Structure 1
Amino acid sequence: MKKNKFLAILFSVSGLLSVSSCGDYLDVESLSNTSEAQQFDSASDTFSALVGVYNATMGDNTYGQRMNLILSQSGDDLRTSGDYNANDRRGISCFGAIPTNTELLRPFLDTYAGIERANLVIKNIPISPVYKTGSDADKKLMDRYLGEALTLRAHFYHDLIKNWGDVPFQDVPSSDLPSVYVAKTDRDVIYDKILDDLLRAESLVPWRSEGSTTAQRISKAAVKGLRARIALARAGYSLRRSPQMMMQGSNPQKYYQIAYQECKDIINSGQHQLNPSYEGLFRSLHTNTPDATNEIIYAIGAFGGNSRTDSKIGYYNGLRHDDTDWKSSGGISAIPVYFYEFTKYDLRRDINIAIFRVNTSKQEELQTSINWNDGKFRKSWTSITGTSQNLGIDWPLLRYSDILLMFAEADNEIHNGPSQEAINAVMAVRQRAYAGNLGQVGTIPTDKPGFFNYIVKERQLEFGGEGIRKYDLIRWNLLETKINETRAKLTQFMNGTGAYANVPEYIFYKKVAYNKDKTAQQNVSDIDFYTTTGTAKADIFYSPNQSVATPSGYTKVNWRLAMTQPYISGDPVKSYAYYFQANRKELLPIALDVINSNYNLTQDYGY
C-alpha cells in the first residue's frame, strides 16, 4: 500500500472521541453502544478507526513539529535558535520552561487523544462480529490492526514518560473508567505494561515483506525496535518523584536482554539494512520514495498541507533559505563544538550541520559559528516552492542504524564487554560514515567502559537532529555531565585552546550559487574559501589564520571569534542550557491547564 493511499484514508474520530476542552483531557463524550459497535463491524471500518490512531502522531502538536523538534532540545548537539523566553520553545531549549509555556499543552493533550483512539480500537477488535462471522482473511487483518494499535499506544506512553515522567495511565476508553480524574502511575509500571503489549503485538503484525508494508506503517521490525528502545529506557536512569533524583530502573539486566534479543531478531530477519548513502536515506523522506534498503523501519507520515496531518519539518528546522522559492526559517541551531565532534572524513558532518544559509539570490552564504543550523532536512530537497510551511516530509522515528547501535549497547551490558557481533554492528555504522576513507575509521575499544563511551559518541554523530540525543543522555544519566562538558568545550573554542587550538578565528570566502542537486558535502566544497599556501581546502576549518587583512573579493566571517561568554554562561537570555538543574530539569512541567483540570494530578519535580 502506498503512503498516500494509506494516509489519505482519514477517519474523523469526532464520532468516537470528543475532548470537550483543552483542560478536560480525559473528559470524553459518552457514546451509544450501537455507534461504537458499528465502527468495528467490518475490517474496512476498523481500518478507518486505526488510521485515526496513526493520525494522532501527525501534525504540529506531535511529530509534525513540537514533539520531535521542540520538546527534544537541548542536548550536546543542537539547540533552539533565538533568545530565551520561559513561555515559548526557547524556554524549553534553555531548560527554563514553566507550566504556562505555550508549547507544552497540545503535545500532552494530543498524545492522550491518540491513546484514547488506540484504546477504542484495542477494546473493540476482540468483540467485533468479524471474529465470529468474518473470513479467515478478515480475522487476520483484524489481528494485524490490533497489533498496530497496541504498538501506537505504547509509543504514545513512551513519549509522555520521556518528557513528563510518571503520568496518568489508562488502557481502556475513558467512557469505561469509573472516574476520569486519574492520578499518576509509576513509569516502571507503565513501561512493563507496554513492553508486554508490544510482545503480544509482535505475533500479530507482519514483517514488511509479508504485509506489503511501507515505512509509514508499523511492521514487525517496528514493533521489535520500539520494544528495544523502551526496554533500554526502562533499564536506564530517569528523574523520580520520591526521592526527587535521577535513579536507574530496577533489574536493568532483564531489560538489556529484551533490547538485545529484539535487535538481534531484526538483524537476523534480513528485512532491513543500512542504506549505503547516509544522505540518500534522508533525501528519500523529502520525495516520498522508499530508501534503497529499508533502513527507515518506521517513519511518521506527513501529508495534506495542513497543521493537523502535515509537518513543518524542513521549514521550521533544517537549512535556512531566505530566497522566495524555498523560504524556510532555520529554527534549530547547531552548537558550534558539535561540528568538531566529526572528523573531516566523516560524511555525516555536512549533512547534520549546515554552515551556510541560502540567501535571497540563491547563493550559499557562510554563517558565523553561532548561526549554523541542522542540515538533514532541507526544503530545497522537496518539490514544494514558495512560502508553504507544510512540506510533506516524513519523520524517521526508527532507523536500522539505531537497531545496530542499541544491539551493541545491550550486548556490552549483558556480556560485561562487547562481543565481536557488537563490534561489527558499530563498525558497520562507522564504515558507512567513512565511505571512501575507510582507513580513517579508527579502532573500536573492546573493554566495557571504553565501548560504552564509544557508543555514546557514535550515537551523537549518527542521530544529530533526529530528536534522540537528549533522551539518550537522560537514560544514561549523562545530561548534566555533557552539558558541563559542552560548556567547557565552548570556552576552549572561544579561547582557541585544547582541541580547538588550530580552529581559525575567521574564514574568508566568496559566495557561490546553491545547487540543490549536489550533495551536502559538495555544497560545502563548492564554496570558494581563501587558503594560504600549503593549506588544503578541506583543512580550512582546522587551520589557524595566517593573515588579518581581508583578501580582495572575499568576505570575512567570524568563525571561532563568533563565540562569546554570553553564549556559554552568565547571560540568562543568550546562554546554552542556562537554566538546567540536575534532578529537576530532566523532565518538563505539565501544562497548567492540565493540572487545573484534574484534582488528582500533581506537578512534581520542583515545578
Structure 2
Amino acid sequence: MKKTKSILFASCFVGALFFTNSCNDFLDPENLSSISEAQQFDSTDDTFSALIGVYAQLGGDDGYGQRLSLILPQSGDDFRTSGNYNCNDRRGVATFGACATNTELNNPFGKLYTGIERANLVLKNIPLSPVMQTGSAQEKALMNRYLGEALTLRAQYYYELIRNWGDVPFYLVPASELPEQNQPKTDRDIIYDQMINDLEKAATLVPWRSEGGTTSNRISKGFVKGLRARIALARAGYSLRRNPQIMAQGSNPQKYYQIALTECKDIMNHSGEHSLNPSYENVFRALHTNAQDTTNEVIFAVGAFGGGVRTDSKIGYYNGLKHHDNSVWKGGGGINALPTYFYEFSKFDLRRDMNVGIFTINAANQAELAASNAWTDSKYRKSWTSITGPSQTLAVDWPLLRLSDVMLMFAEADNEINGAPSQEAKNALLAVRNRAYAGNLGQVGAIPSDKVGFFNAVVQERLLELGSEGIRKYDLIRWNLLATKIAETKAKLTAFINGTGAYANVPLNIYYKNSVYDPTKTAQQNIAAIDVYTTGTDKSAVFYLPNQSATTPAGYKSIAWRSGITATYVDNPASGYAQYFQVNKRELLPIYFEYIQNNYNLTQDYGY
C-alpha cells in the first residue's frame, strides 16, 4: 500500500507546476518518504500498482466521470447544457462563453497533467527495472505490456488536452528531470506526431482483448489502434491555430488518413475481438452494471467504482433521463437534447428513443411526456442501475471507444484517400445503419457513391450513432464544420418554432396520459407505452402530424411540443443556443487563469 501511495506522491510533482493544491486529494497523512522511486518498479506487482495510478486519472468528477465526458464536450448540433448562461460555470462552457476564471476548467486540466506525469514516471522506470534485466520472459512481457498501456494513457491525456485547449506544454519525462519546469506551449502537431509514434510502439506491446484476458475497462490492442486512428484524423483535420489565429488543416493529411484507415481496418478484421452488438440499446445498458456487452463492441470504457468523486461517475445522475426528485430514483436532466436532434432521426431508427429522452419520470414513478425545451439525452438512466434515492455516484462506465465509431472512422478515411468510397467503406457505413433499422431494412436508404455525398453521409451517421458520447463537437471542429452546423442548427430551430420546412407537420402540442414506467422495457417500449391522443391508428406517427385536436381531449394532458421552443432559445444572452460562439476564437477553451499565473512561460491565446 505504501508503495502505491508513494508513486502517487511522486506523480503529484508536476501538478505543483500549475497549481499548488492540485494534488492534495491524492495524499493522506502517511509517511511516504521511506520508499524510493526505483523501488516502485522492482517487481511486476509494484509496477502494476504504479500503472493503476495512471489509469486512476481517467475517472472521477474531474475526469470522465463528469467534466471531461459531460461538460466540456458541449455544445454541438445535438445537445446543450441545461440552464442559463454564466461565464463561470458549465453553462459558460456550453454556450462558448467560458471565462478564464471558470472553475469547470481548473481541475480537469490539472488532472490530465497529473496523469501524464504518472505515465512519464512509469515510462522512465520500467526500462530501468531489475525485472527487465533479470526477470523471466513472461515477466518482461508483462512489463512491456504495462509500458504500452502507459504510452496509450499518456496519448489519451494529451489528446484530451489538445482538443479542448489547443497547443499545450509538452512533457515526455518526469518533471523532476526538467532543467526548466515552466514549459511554454508546444505546437499540437508535434505532440500529435509523438503520440502517433508512441501508439505504434504500444500496439506491439499490448495484447488483443482475448489474448490478455481483458475487459473493456483495461486497454487492449484494439483501443491502442483505435486511439491512434482517432488522433491521426485529428492531425489530418482542422483546428484553431495560434499564429495566425484561424482554423487551419494539419499538414500532409493523406499520410494521417492512411494511418487511420490501416488501424481501423485491422480492428475490423479482428471481428472475434470486437463486433457490432445486434442491440444498440444493450451496449449502453451494460455500462450501467460495469459489465462487458456481449460482443465487446465497447473497446474501452472508463471504469467507475467506489462511490466517491475521485473514482466514481455521475453519469446517469447529472445527465440522462430526468427522474423527479421525489421519484424512487432522483436524478438526470443536466443535459438537454436540441428538439431538432430528435427530428434528425426517422421514426424507424431505433437510436432515436435511446439518444433523446422525450419523457420524464414523475414523483409517482410514472412516465410523462416532456416539453421540447426539456428533452434530455437518454442513453444513461439512473433507473437502469440498482441505485435508488439521492445517491449521485452511480458506477456507470463511460465508453471512450466503440466499434461503430471505428467503422465510421474507417469509412471516412477510405473516402478521403480514394476520392470516393470503396465498397468496403460503403459496407461499413451500411452495417451501422442496418443495425439502427433492424426490422425495417427497407428504410435504410441508399449509400452515396461520390466523395462529397459519402462524406456528408458519414457526418450525418456519426451525429445519429454517437450522440451524447462526447464526440460530436470535436468532430465538427476537425471537419471545420462547427460554425456551419451552429448556423444551420439555429436556422432549423427557427423553422421548428415557425412550423416551416421539415417541421411543417410537427404538432404544436401533444395530448397524453401518464403511463407506467418499467425500466426493464426497451426504450421503444417505454415510448409506445405512453398513451398519446391521435385520430389515427398509428400512435407512433403523432410526433410527425399536426395537432390531433383543437383543444385538450377529456382525460388527457397537453404538453408543449413545438410550442415549447421560442425565439429566446435561439438568440438570447441568457438562454440562447451556442450564443457566444465566435469563429476562429471559440473553438477552444481558455486555460484557467491560475495556471497562467503560476507558469510565466504559458500564454493565454485565442482572444481570451
Query: TM-score w.r.t. structure 2 length?
Result: 0.96
- Residue 369 of structure 2 is matched in structure 1 by 366
Residue 53 (structure 1) aligns with:
54
Q: Any gaps of 5 or more consecutive residues in structure 2? A: none
Shift of 1:330: 1.1
Q: How does 1:286-305 map to 2 (within 5 A)?
A: 286-305=288-307
Q: Which moved further from structure 2: 215-224 or 282-291?
A: 282-291
| Alignment partners' CA distance in 1, 2:214 and 2:310 | 23
Matched, 1:126 2:106: no
Residue 566 (structure 2) aligns with: 564
Measure how far apart 1:179 and its partner are. 1.4
1:51-72 Cα shifts (integer Å, max 9, x gaps): 0000000100010000010000
Q: Deviations over 1:256-304 (max 9, x none)?
A: 0000000001011221100000000100001122101000000011000
Amino acid at match of 2:212: G
- 1:356 aligned partner: 359
Q: Summarize the alignment of residues 98-497 of structure 1 with structure 2, pairs less than 5 Å apart.
A: 98-270=99-271, 271-322=273-324, 323-497=326-500
Q: Aligned residue pairs: how many?
A: 596
Q: Is 2:19 the counterpart of 1:23?
A: yes
Amino acid at match of 1:307: V
Would you say 1:539 and 2:541 are equivalent positions? yes
Read off the aligned partner of 2:554 and give its amino acid letter. S
Farther off after superposition, 164-173 or 381-390:
381-390
Amino acid at match of 2:106: L
Aligned counterparts of 2:547 and 2:288: Cα–Cα separation in 1: 39
The Cα RMSD (Å) is 1.6
Q: SS at the partner of 1:444?
A: coil
3-state SS in 1 of match to 2:149: helix
Do the aligned partners of 1:337 and 1:490 also contact (CA within 8 Å) in 2?
yes
Q: Secondary structure of 2:400's match?
A: strand
Secondary structure of 1:507's aligned partner: strand
Q: Whole-Å Cα distance in 2 between the matches of residues 118 and 26 of structure 1?
A: 17
8 Å Cα contact 1:285/1:395 also seen in 2? yes
Write the distance in 2 (CA, Å) between the matches of 1:551 and 1:25.
60
Question: Matched residues in 2 for 1:283 and 1:202: separation?
Answer: 29
Amino acid at match of 2:198: D
TM-score (structure 1 length as normaliser): 0.96
Asked if the contact 1:404–1:426 (Cα under 8 Å) also holds between the matched residues in 2, the reply is yes
What SS class does the counterpart of residue 396 from structure 1 fall into? strand
Note the alpha carbon deviations across 1:139-163, whole angstroms, 9 max, x for none: 0100000000000000000000000
* Pairwise CA distance, 1:26: 9.8
Q: State the alpha-carbon separation in 2 of the partners of residues 111 and 20 from structure 1.
A: 13
* C-alpha contact 1:26 1:180 (8 A) present in aligned 2: no
Separation of aligned partners in 2, 1:539 and 1:309: 44
Answer yes or no: is the 8 Å Cα contact 2:17–2:181 preserved in 1.
no
One-letter amino acid of the structure 1 residue matched with residue 200 of structure 2 = L
- More displaced, 17-26 or 178-187? 17-26
Q: Which residue does the alignment assign to 2:524?
A: 521
Measured after TM superposition, the shift of residue 23 of structure 1 is 1.9
1:491-519 alpha-carbon deviations (Å, 9 max, x no partner): 10000000000000000000011100000
Residue identity matched to 2:258: Q
Of 509, 516, 520, 1:506 maps to 509
Shift of 1:14: 3.5
The 2-side partners of 1:393 and 1:10 are apart by 25
Are 2:533 and 2:548, in contact at CA under 8 Å, matched by a contact in 1? no
- The share of aligned pairs that are identical, in percent, is 65
Check the 8 A contact 1:224/1:266 in 2, yes or no: yes
Measure the CA separation in 2 of the matches of 1:407 and 1:563: 38
Rate the CA distance shift 1:128–1:350 in 2: closer, same or farther, 3 A: same
C-alpha spacing 1:498/1:336, structure 2 compared with 1 (3 Å): same
> CA contact under 8 A between 1:25 and 1:594: conserved in structure 2?
no
Structure 1 gaps, min length 5: 1-8
> Does the CA-based 8 Å contact 2:17-2:598 persist in structure 1?
no
Letter in 2 for 1:583: N
Q: Shift of the alpha carbon at 1:180?
A: 1.1
Which whole-Å deviations, capped at 9, do the CAs of 1:127-178 have from their partners, x for residues lacking one? 1000111111110100000000000000000000000000000000000011
Task: Give yes or no for the alignment of 1:587 onto 2:568.
Answer: no
Cα 1:11–1:276 shift into 2, 3 Å: farther
Distance 1:361 1:373, change over 3 A: same
Q: CA deviation at 1:13?
A: 4.0
CA contact (8 A) 1:84 1:572 kept: yes
Task: Give, as a single letter, the amino acid of the residue that structure 1 aligns with 2:510.
Answer: I
Instruction: Kindly indicate whether the alpha-carbon contact (under 8 Å) linking 1:511 and 1:527 is maintained by their aligned counterparts in 2.
Output: yes
Mapped partners of 1:426, 1:391: distance in 2: 33
- What is the alpha-carbon distance in structure 1 between the residues aligned to residue 387 and residue 136 of structure 2? 44
Q: 1:74 is aligned with what amino acid?
A: S
Conserved? CA contact 1:79–1:93, under 8 Å:
yes
Aligned to 1:5: none
**Is 130-139 or 458-467 further displaced after alignment?**
130-139
Closer/same/farther in 2, CA of residues 313 and 230 from structure 1, 3 Å limit: same
| Poorly superposed stretches of 4+, deviation over 6 Å | 25-29, 31-34
Q: Distance in 2 between matches of 1:565 and 1:27?
A: 45
Contact 1:237 1:249 in 2 (8 A): yes
Cα gap change, 1:288 to 1:34, in 2 (>3 Å): closer
Quote the residue 2:93 is aligned against. 92
Structure 1 CA distance for aligned equivalents of residues 4 and 290 of structure 2: 18
Q: Distance in 1 between matches of 2:8 and 2:265?
A: 41
Question: What residue in structure 2 maps to residue 6 of structure 1?
Answer: none
**CA shift for structure 1 position 20:** 4.1
- Check whether the contact 2:7–2:40 (CA below 8 A) recurs between aligned residues: no
Shift of 1:235: 0.1
Alpha-carbon contact 1:27-1:174 (below 8 Å) kept:
no
CA distance in 1, matches of 2:361, 2:339: 19
In structure 1, how many angstroms separate the alpha carbons of the residues matched to 2:8 and 2:404?
A: 38
- Contact 1:25–1:109 (8 Å) recurs in 2: no
What amino acid is aligned across from residue 67 of structure 1 in structure 2? L
2: CA distance between counterparts of 1:73 and 1:20? 29
Report SS of the residue matched to 2:50: helix
